[in-house]
């Protein structure tokens, strides 16, 4: 029988075996005499991830072959914008609107079916703090109010001219209030 008050218990203390670390080198083997296999999968995944990331960064930073700032549509040389005037007004909600009105003349030999412009509103130092991209709307009537419709509704034939109106809201307050620069980004044409 055990007497609980008779003294300390006699439990054996486990002995720990020393652990030896052996560096594995090119000539080392495991306990079975075989070379350990190296797992290259993490390295392959890391290399693929880095290459993929570099490809995305390079693709995002590339310059497109036909950048809007460096070139305009080839048919742009046949389109003449004249009598460009700027005015401002408010809509029924009280928002300030900027109107760019003028005349568009097609001096080419094709009918213009669509037209997208880049409009640069410059500041006093000649820089463009605001650049807008907008499709052209042609003026169909001026009475009792200015009625506009897209050029796709009534394409502009060769040798013809038509009044246009571009409408902008929230033009930068840094704008110098002069007529903006107009560039043709895309001209859809047909014979």
Question: Quick check: 155 pLDDT over 90?
Answer: yes
Question: Quick check: 115 pLDDT over 60?
Answer: yes
Average pLDDT, the chain: 80
Question: Quick check: 64 pLDDT over 50?
Answer: no
* Residue 2 lies inside a defined structural domain of this protein: no
Our count of domains for the chain comes to 1
* Residue 13 lies inside a defined structural domain of this protein: no
Q: Regarding predicted confidence, which is higher, 9 or 16?
A: 16
Least reliable range by pLDDT among 36-45, 109-118, 149-158, 178-187 = 36-45
Residue carrying the six token digits 């029988």:
1
Q: What's the token pair of residue 133? A: 């991209």
Q: Regarding predicted confidence, which is higher, 141 or 149?
A: 149
* Residue 159 lies inside a defined structural domain of this protein: yes
* Residue 58 lies inside a defined structural domain of this protein: no
* Residue 68 lies inside a defined structural domain of this protein: no
Q: What's the token pair of residue 23? A: 């560096």
Q: What CATH number does the domain containing 84 carry?
A: 2.60.40
Q: Give the separation between CA 55 and CA 73, rounded to whole angstroms.
A: 29
The parent domain of residue 132 ranges over: 74-190
* Residue 49 lies inside a defined structural domain of this protein: no
Across residues 30-34, what is the average pLDDT?
59
pTM passes above 0.75: no
* Residue 148 lies inside a defined structural domain of this protein: yes
Per-residue pLDDT, 69: 46
* Residue 21 lies inside a defined structural domain of this protein: no
Per-residue pLDDT, 18: 67
Least reliable range by pLDDT among 123-127, 137-141, 155-159 = 123-127
């Amino acid at each position: 029988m055990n007497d609980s008050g008779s003294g300390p218990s006699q439990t054996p203390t486990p002995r720990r075996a020393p652990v030896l670390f052996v560096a594995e080198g090119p000539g080392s083997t495991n306990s079975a005499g075989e070379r350990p296999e190296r797992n290259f999968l993490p390295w392959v995944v890391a290399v693929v991830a880095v290459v993929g990331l570099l490809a995305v960064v390079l693709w995002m930073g590339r310059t497109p072959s036909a950048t809007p700032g460096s070139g305009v549509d080839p048919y742009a040389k046949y389109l003449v914008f004249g009598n460009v005037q700027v005015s401002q007004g408010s809509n029924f909600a009280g928002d300030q609107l900027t109107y760019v009105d003028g005349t568009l003349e097609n001096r080419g030999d094709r009918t213009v079916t669509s037209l997208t412009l880049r409009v640069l509103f410059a500041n006093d130092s000649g820089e463009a703090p605001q650049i807008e991209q907008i499709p052209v709307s042609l003026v169909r009537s001026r009475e009792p109010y200015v009625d506009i419709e897209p050029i796709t509704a009534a394409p502009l034939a060769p040798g013809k001219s038509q009044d246009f109106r571009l409408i902008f809201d929230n033009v930068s307050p840094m704008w110098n209030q002069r007529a903006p620069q107009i560039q043709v980004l895309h001209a859809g044409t047909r014979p």
